[in-house]
Structure 1
């Protein structure tokens, strides 16, 4: 008899399964009580399982007696049970010592056999300090999960990495992620922006110089490359380097040596190089604009950074993160479904950088009010207009004016002048003033109570 068929199958317990997750992880019931917590969660809050399991989630993480929705935060539990979909938000939690810290919550519904939500799983990504944030990449879309897997494999190595992707996609953040997850994390990461290096002093900036190397060289100077000794050198927009600098960089990659301007001897440098570009280097090689041998050295490990439009699952989480980072906006209400729809229906030619600017601009337009879809109406004004049209620059100029007078009060004369300019049309006047029609109406009521409106 085959004894393997008679022996019972030992299935792992819920606790054993969730302990596999590398971040703090809990399962929460509809009553807000924690049903299970992994060891990372217990370690983060320095609590025993008996102290956590059965307790209200808001009691443990928020030190509150009521759910977080009562304090201006978006409750992921309510969202998951209402929509039966996963969601992620940025919250302010308290650590084990009672200090506030930003965290990203990834909430996922747990369904029964009939498809009903019976509980919610919640993974917690701590964003408390700048160093911790650099060790993480925001986003849980499939392409970001795959990207993170690739980065975790290459980070501990010494391999040269080439990051390719559109402008604003986050290449510098990825470079910092690689550095802070490598064995060079205790060393410096030096960022070289090839587009900002002065044409005449670029060699001195990169390689340094000896005293007397040229007229103004009154002392020895370490270059950016030498400053990265023991750490990582990140060369952004490497496609902009001149042919002469491409040759010197190739020698650095092949020999790990440099020579300062005005020096006669080479010196050893211990650095790892990460390069980035939004240009097609292969095409540049074919057009004789980029050295082929340097191209092959740089592409030892090429990584494509996906544009934001290819990972729209991350947009709302990133928007919540940027909103939490803006001063005085931490306790603002969550992004409404209408706002989320605005954000998800936009293609972001400027990628993550543009999303960050959009959130900042919307909070400025809101003037300390809760965000509404009106504060994102400028997304509809980004459609290309006929070249040479006087109206093409008007929306951007209008919003730039709003940015410049952030937090300043608009006086009665300005409101009335703009209203008269638009023949009393409140929607047009509110748009030029950078406020919602509701806000304009409130200003008008205040003016009316003090004096008659002409």
Structure 2
């Protein structure tokens, strides 16, 4: 079978490498750039399912076709769950395998543009936040490619740590405006008085500290793109002025009378539910419809668990190269712990934990002991069959924040860094979960005097 199938595929023009068992296949895959592995389910030593899992762990993006004469529904489901491209029952005719291999090649060709986009992101920003073959990530890639060709306003939504700013960079970088500036504004970090001046600029004497004329971000972005991060935090007075700019691309500096025209492509992002804010009256409906021309939603990592192994592997390789350590993958127990964890901080949190794991790793593979306790602890294990999930994501998040705060001695900056979020986001989550410093909590519980 091995020789016959190899001859057929070689005749089709494919470069074929042969292995007689799973261990040999892993050795070849670790040294050569492999696009596809065709394996029998039953083999000496490692079986095909074990080979599939270890290829996913060590190589990541290679496609796998499993052949078997002992197929069951359970084994087929398990193979697909671990990312097998196809599951072929023996006996089969050679043309069936040839046709399946062609499908793999066609899909590889379709993904070349996604691979280029991923490579461009890595070259420009250093880290591959959007690696993955899940349908959700492929949809995001397709949306980025499509919208980059236009000047349409884009609204990027998603939880903290999902990569909203990276998508904004990718849209600009792949657009016709790539050689013009991409100007970024964090709307959540500026008070109302400063935000207006930051966006539109000001004239000398417009307010006490305005000692000279200053261009705003809209002017600085002229000809390029303006990225408004956390647009849901913009106060109502600024929202009204933003509506006019989006309608006319005209505005006046603070304290000025001259009308300034700009050619700017707007990209906005938020983790908030703007539609609900419109209903509650805290976000202008006309502004919402003007920025929501092309919505792109970034899924949380817990909704695309099939991408966790590839992401973790890329981060491990990145930090291993950066620290010059021989770490090349994860042990199975460590990978299983990553798959169970709910990732409230999303890809940013995974990146931070993989950096830490590489630093602590003493061998070639990241072990369970190299991961933080919040990932490996009992609150992160899956419930046994038949038991209900005892803790909600909200409860797990609160527990995680408390654990990391205690681990860092309540150092908020360090805690925010480990959790992959800003200090402001951490403070808001602490307030939402009612988390206080031990001394503050003690003061809060003291009975009031007579």
CA distance in 2, matches of 1:273, 1:199: 20
The partner residue of 1:358 within 353, 357, 376 is 353
CA deviation map 1:41-72 (0-9, x unaligned)? xxxxxxxxxxxxxxxxxxxxxxxxx96747xx
1:39-188 paired onto structure 2 within 5 Å: 69=30, 83-84=51-52, 106-110=61-65, 114=89, 125=115, 127=119, 130-131=123-124, 137-188=130-181
CA distance in 2, matches of 1:392, 1:165: 20
Question: Could you tell me which residue of structure 2 aligns to residue 317 of structure 1?
Answer: 310
User: Does 2:407 correspond to 1:375?
Assistant: no
The partner residue of 1:341 within 336, 345, 367 is 336
CA deviation map 1:169-211 (0-9, x unaligned)? 1111111121112111111211211111133321111111122
Structure 2's unaligned 5+ residue stretches are 1-7, 21-26, 40-47, 68-87, 92-96, 380-390, 415-450
Q: Which is higher, the Rg of structure 1 or of structure 2?
A: 1
The partner residue of 1:199 within 153, 176, 192 is 192
Taking structure 2 as the reference length, what is the TM-score of the superposition?
0.63
CA distance in 1, matches of 2:295, 2:148: 13
Structure 1's unaligned 5+ residue stretches are 1-12, 19-25, 33-65, 92-104, 405-454
CA distance in 2, matches of 1:391, 1:275: 30
Question: Could you tell me which residue of structure 1 aligns to residue 18 of structure 2?
Answer: 30
CA distance in 2, matches of 1:231, 1:89: 41
Question: Could you tell me which residue of structure 2 aligns to residue 445 of structure 1?
Answer: none
CA deviation map 1:335-355 (0-9, x unaligned)? 122211111111111111111
- CA 1:134–1:318 in 2, change beyond 3 Å: closer, same or farther? closer
- Superposition CA RMSD, Å: 4.3
- CA 1:273–1:307 in 2, change beyond 3 Å: closer, same or farther? same
CA distance in 1, matches of 2:135, 2:362: 36
CA distance in 2, matches of 1:146, 1:236: 22
> What SS is found at the alignment partner of 1:162?
strand
CA distance in 2, matches of 1:199, 1:319: 40
CA deviation map 1:221-241 (0-9, x unaligned)? 121221111111111111100
Residues 186, 228 of structure 2: 8 Å contact kept: yes
> What SS is found at the alignment partner of 2:245?
helix
CA distance in 1, matches of 2:142, 2:265: 20
> What SS is found at the alignment partner of 1:222?
coil
Residues 79, 87 of structure 1: 8 Å contact kept: no
CA distance in 2, matches of 1:400, 1:369: 31
The partner residue of 1:229 within 212, 222, 227 is 222
> What SS is found at the alignment partner of 1:29?
coil
CA deviation map 1:4-59 (0-9, x unaligned)? xxxxxxxxx999x99xxxxxxx8552369xxxxxxxxxxxxxxxxxxxxxxxxxxx
Taking structure 1 as the reference length, what is the TM-score of the superposition?
0.63
